């Protein structure tokens, strides 16, 4: 660029402008992947923080309940005094909910938890705390307008999973799932509700809390996504097992999973980057190359998406006697 005779400066030539544009484009091309990687790393870190919060919440909840973790799901009619009910944990009677409901006060969500308190009437309802009933005996929704289930709980939203901030048929979703092998009763001989009503004490996990998965990332929207066929709904009950916030479920109640044996679909390792169309509701999810989990000691870890199925099974089972670390 040369000075003009009158002291002014001439404009850039077209070639010079193109060179500048090319340089800017090259710099943007170099920086954009780094920016995207930084954003993904931030999302991954936030998800780990959520998992840590949930793990600590479960520990505090168990401390308040004689060391027992909550069941995967329980209903208010259960009576521990009835020998036929085969449940002797502290989350009964007059309590209905998933483990993710019971942990709400311990993750700074008392307001949502309180919405679940229902004043039961002569139709079988109770005014005790920890009680909510989605459907009464007539199959109709009770107190739905003030239900906690519609709420989007921040700790249940996985920033790696955009579907976890959606709702499905009015239900709030979750990007994290409980390990049925810990929260349920995987060897229970009956079907329906019974295998969901686990009585695990953290201090009594045979394989140890450092070797057992407590919670894992799991894509919320499956097979249709928002208002679709399936999904992880944090407050949903047993009447549609694929909507329960669970992974690793075995037994009669879970026809898609299979029985408690080495060939069960429950042991399939995390699914890598699923879509609405191919997402499998009963599997954990690897966003990228790893699936992030909370161990039963409340520590967090990243499990390689290519983990061997047997190693993953050992991480889910609480009493297999194996020392799998998932590394």
Question: In order along the chain (327 residues), what is the average pLDDT of each group of 10 residues?
Answer: 55 78 83 74 91 97 95 81 77 81 93 68 45 41 62 92 83 92 85 83 92 95 62 83 86 59 80 87 90 96 94 91 64
d(CA 18, CA 118): 69
Which 3 state secondary structure label does DSSP give 28?
helix
The CA distances from residue 113 to 107, 254, 284, 298, in Å, are 10, 27, 26, 22
Q: Is 71 helix (H, G, I), strand (E, B) or coil?
A: coil
Predicted TM-score (pTM) above 0.85: no
**Residue whose pair of structure tokens reads 């799991």 in the numeric block:** 218
Q: Coil, strand, or helix at residue 66?
A: coil
Q: Which residues pair with 294 in a beta bridge?
A: 215, 300
* Per-residue model confidence (pLDDT) at position 107: 95
CA gap 259, 324 in Å, rounded: 22
Residue 140: predicted pLDDT: 37
Task: Say how many residues make up the chain.
Answer: 327
Residue 46: the pLDDT is: 94
Please check whether residue 126 is in contact with residue 94, taking contact to mean a CB–CB distance below 8 angstroms: yes
Distance in angstroms (rounded) separating the CA atoms of residues 101 and 7? 77
Q: For residues 325 and 327, what is the distance between their CA atoms, to the nearest angstrom?
A: 5
**Tokens standing for residue 32:** 């954009």
pLDDT at 16: 76
Distance CA 92, CA 76 (A): 7
Tokens of 210: 């450092």
Per DSSP, 157 falls in state -
Q: What is the pLDDT of residue 41?
A: 80
């Amino acid at each position: 660029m040369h000075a003009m005779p009158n002291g002014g400066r001439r404009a850039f030539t077209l070639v010079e402008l193109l060179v500048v544009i090319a340089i800017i484009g090259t710099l943007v091309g170099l920086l954009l992947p780094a920016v995207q990687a930084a954003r993904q790393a931030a999302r991954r870190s936030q998800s780990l923080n959520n998992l840590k919060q949930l793990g600590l919440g479960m520990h505090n909840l168990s401390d308040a309940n004689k060391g027992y973790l909550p069941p995967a799901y329980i209903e208010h009619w259960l009576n521990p005094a009835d020998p036929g009910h085969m449940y002797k944990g502290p989350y009964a009677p007059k309590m209905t909910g998933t483990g993710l409901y019971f942990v709400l006060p311990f993750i700074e969500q008392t307001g949502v938890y309180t919405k679940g308190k229902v004043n039961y009437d002569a139709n079988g309802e109770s005014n005790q705390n920890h009680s909510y009933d989605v459907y009464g005996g007539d199959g109709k929704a009770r107190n739905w307008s003030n239900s906690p289930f519609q709420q989007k709980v921040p700790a249940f939203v996985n920033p790696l999973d955009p579907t976890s901030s959606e709702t499905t048929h009015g239900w709030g979703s979750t990007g994290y799932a409980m390990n049925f092998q810990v929260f349920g009763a995987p060897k229970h001989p009956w079907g329906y509700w019974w295998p969901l009503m686990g009585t695990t004490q953290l201090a009594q996990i045979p394989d140890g809390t450092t070797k057992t998965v407590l919670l894992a990332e799991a894509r919320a929207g499956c097979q249709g996504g928002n208002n679709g066929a399936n999904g992880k709904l944090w407050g949903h009950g047993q009447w549609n097992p694929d909507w329960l916030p669970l992974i690793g479920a075995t037994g009669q109640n879970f026809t898609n999973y299979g029985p408690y044996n080495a060939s069960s679909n429950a042991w399939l390792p995390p699914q890598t980057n699923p879509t609405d169309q191919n997402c499998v509701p009963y599997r954990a999810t690897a966003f990228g190359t790893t699936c992030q989990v909370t161990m039963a000691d409340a520590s967090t870890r990243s499990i390689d998406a290519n983990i061997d199925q047997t190693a993953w099974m050992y991480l889910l089972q609480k009493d297999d006697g194996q020392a799998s670390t998932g590394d």
